[in-house]
Amino acid sequence: MAPTYAGDKIHARIAGLGIYVPDNILTSAELAGRLGVSEEWITSRVNIHERHIAVGQSTSDLGAAAAQRAMADAGISPSDVNLLIVATETPDRLVPSTACIIQDRLGLVNAAAFDLNAACSGFVYALTVGSQFIASGACQNVLVVGAEVLSPFADWSDEQTCILFGDGAGAAVLQPAGPESGILAWNLGADGSGKDILTILAGGSQMPITHQAIDEKLHLAKMNGQEVFIFAMRKVPAVTEQTLAAVGLSIENVDLFVPHQANSHIIEAITRRLGLAPEKVMMNLERYGNVAAASIPIALHEARETGRIKPGDIVVLVGFGAGLTWGAVVLRW
């Protein structure tokens, strides 16, 4: 069974948050026009009204801007950061990591830096990995970034998938906290037998980019939406309950549930299954689309900015996506 853990003596808390999204907005009305469908066709399917699309900016540009804001929010300087983890499925380059590019951009001279690819679960994975460096006492400031420029990997002629994606970044600074607050429990898991459910086939060592691969659009994201829905429904509620139970909590104790912003149908179905009141569920995908590893920090940041989280609240973050991967963290804010 995939690990659930709640034994850290030193908890990691989120000491700062920051987000960055490109200025350029693509509305569903405009996208509908390009695809030859109605705006309502898009919004009734996914409840996404607009998404930000990067123009001339890469994942590191978005991630660095979000990271800078998170550091300012936490009141730390670049030299304070001991570790930078960038969760992304759309790195600037295959080599080196986007984390190294951001490390250079921000002058994180004292930080180790690496990328982590767990797709839409990436931010929860990275937060968990970072928390373990805090728990061990090895690091005092871990910078966790979820950043994506998905737009170049969307098939803009496939109305089933391109309506979903957006570009953006969110970042969090982790610092040590007392035993009562911060990340109380986590769960990470994977099921690689679902590797073909959501994938970009070409561009890696298995299928290098060729003219033929491009002609067949194999360098773009392919998704089986129904399989993703089945996986999310089977996994997310169970993982949420399991992670809460690890610290003696149940769904009634949750003040805010922040799921990966995949699409509104998935989130609503999960919410119903968990028996959560809609006001306890953070949803903002109507303005950002599905931003993969960036969706949870963008939603969490908005929740904090709009007063939906107060100190002492139990907050649950749950990611799920390609891999297949999933992850949950239970935090006391």
Partner 1 sequence: MSTIEKLREVILKMKKKNITAADLKPEARFLQDLSFDSQDQTEMLVLAEEAFGITVDFQEVKNMTNIAAAVEYIDKKMGK
> What are the residue numbers of the active site?
120, 260, 290
Smallest distance, Å, CB 18 to partner 1? 34
Smallest distance, Å, CB 218 to partner 1? 25
Distance CA 99, CA 279 (A): 35
Is 234 or 310 the residue whose CB approaches partner 1 more closely?
234
Burial 11-22 (b: 16+ CB within 10 A, else e): bbbbbbbbbbbb
Is 13 or 45 the residue whose CB approaches partner 1 more closely?
45
Question: Coil, strand, or helix at residue 256?
Answer: strand
Smallest distance, Å, CB 237 to partner 1? 8
Burial 196-207 (b: 16+ CB within 10 A, else e): ebbbbbbbeeee
Residues that bind partner 1 (CB under 8 A): 226, 229-230, 233-234, 265, 269, 272-273
Distance CA 282, CA 256 (A): 7
Amino acid (one-letter) located at 265: H
Is 153 or 229 the residue whose CB approaches partner 1 more closely?
229
Is 209 or 230 the residue whose CB approaches partner 1 more closely?
230
Beta carbons of 314 and 180 less than 8 angstroms apart? no
Smallest distance, Å, CB 255 to partner 1? 22
Beta carbons of 261 and 135 less than 8 angstroms apart? no
